[in-house]
Amino acid sequence: MSQINVPEKYPTCFRGRLPELTYVGKRKNGDSFSPPRILHSHTDVAELLLITQGTANYTVGEHQYVVTEGDVIALNAGVMHDEDARLAANTTSLLIGLKHIQLFHLPDNALIPKEACPVLSLKDSFPFVQNTLETIYALLKEDRVQYAETCQQLTVALVSLFVELYRRHAVPTAPAGKGALLTDRIRKYIDDHYNEEVSLQAISDALHANSYYLAHVFKENTGYSPMQYAIRLRIGKAQELLTYTNYSVTQIAGMVGYDNISHFNAMFTKYIGMAPGKYRKISVTTE
């Protein structure tokens, strides 16, 4: 028998309370019960998302990444991210939502440094991480109350493993595109005015920049035109309101900048693949 003893003392990555699992999810693109969750952020929840099959385009912050089977994406709380609804039909993923993360040398609810690349290839650790996430999902689906503690402990282990793998193998910084400062200014303007009448000319006037140039820079850095970004942000906000509030579809349309309910329904269906009412029924049932 080969025996390896655990050291009596060892370093920890946690500087305070242990992270808390808030949800676990499984998604397969094209599945009517797994509609895409487009442009959005979480105020106090971080996520680890594992691509288990296929290839995807994923936007995190101001950068787009091509991720494939065995890649995990670390999403700090408050960071805008976007799942591309045009993924191949066989693309599947698992994710966990985490609260109260307190890692050494990082702010609360951060898994990685702000400017670091959020994508990590798990390599040989992929099967273990996938099996652990599948176990958490299966246990909570069977009995959320009785298996909650087990799943919390498994989650702490996963975060600890991720921190060590990231320390050893991660790309240190995210790629910096040309015009990153202007891209940030455009993004902030849209974030602040998405529920108003947003146009390329309005952005150009507000930022005192040539409309053609700012559109080109934004598309180069994010993969979307400013207007595409504004639409995705509106639909992402609508998804959040449909899931977590009792506002009517008409009220939500107005809250995210659509005066015409028919136009809102058409745009929502185009980007999510179903009408707002159907999305609400599915998302509330699966939350």
Q: 211-239, pLDDT tens digit by residue? A: 888 898 888 888 889 999 999 999 999 99
As a whole number of angstroms, the distance between CA 223 and CA 221 comes to 6
The band of 175, judged by pLDDT with boundaries at 50, 70 and 90, is low
Of 60, 44, 45, nearest in space to 120 by CA: 60
pLDDT tens-digit map of 139-157: 999 988 899 999 999 999 9
List the beta bridge partners of residue 152.
none
Residue 173, pLDDT score: 65
pLDDT tens-digit map of 252-282: 999 999 999 999 999 999 988 899 999 998 8
pLDDT tens-digit map of 88-98: 557 889 999 99
pLDDT tens-digit map of 79-90: 988 876 454 557
Pure H helices in 44-179: 126-142, 148-169
Backbone angles phi, psi at 4, to 5 degrees: -120, 120
Mean pLDDT for 245-258 is 94
The strands making up 55-60's β-sheet, listed across from edge to edge, are 63-68, 55-60, 81-83
Q: Whole-prediction pTM value?
A: 0.81
